[in-house]
Structure 1
């Protein structure tokens, strides 16, 4: 059993790493998350004024609850990154098509990413991760 968990954790970290190492996106984009824990960071994107992070179809491995805290960070080149606040996502755990979303406004023109600030103790899977930088829709 230990070897199975060790292999699962290794595969999960590799999958999470693939999303983190994906090329920078400059507008709206979609991806997914497999077996990511607290501290996981997304790909970067450029934005101004508005960003929305949406998770669709969330599940967790090795956890009984259903929540994750997602923070939007500004990628500052010459100073520490700026945290623009954290949103608790719970609804996306209610089924494969259930969505949780967080919106951040008043952003300066810069690079951004989200970080899983906290999970319910398990590894997070998200069927669809969507970044929307257009407030008008």
Structure 2
């Protein structure tokens, strides 16, 4: 099933809450921050959060660090529900294929989530900068 979701924001209203926002964004786009290389990852997390709200009509209750799934919808022990997120700079669907299916030496996100007995419901959200493409996939159940 295909969906189109357009995300926009009002910079003037956002700047009311953070007066340095526009200069921070300019520095970020010019590559003058330590996090420049992390831009696809941050964008992917932001878009996954929007997708959770729009597609699942749920809230993220916890962010898991160093363990899949990344964004948790339910933290019930033994019955985790969540979204695994990844962002790529280039290669679009070809990059997603490797992330989803893995390689000969490393399992992909589908396999990792399917093998986790304590995860009862899982989604994958992938986003690529160039070309701008994304995938939202239910992996479990």
Q: Which has the higher helix share?
A: 2
Q: Which has the higher strand share?
A: 1
- Structure with higher RCO (Cα < 8 A, 6+ apart): 1
Fold-level match, TM-score > 0.5? no
Larger Rg: 2
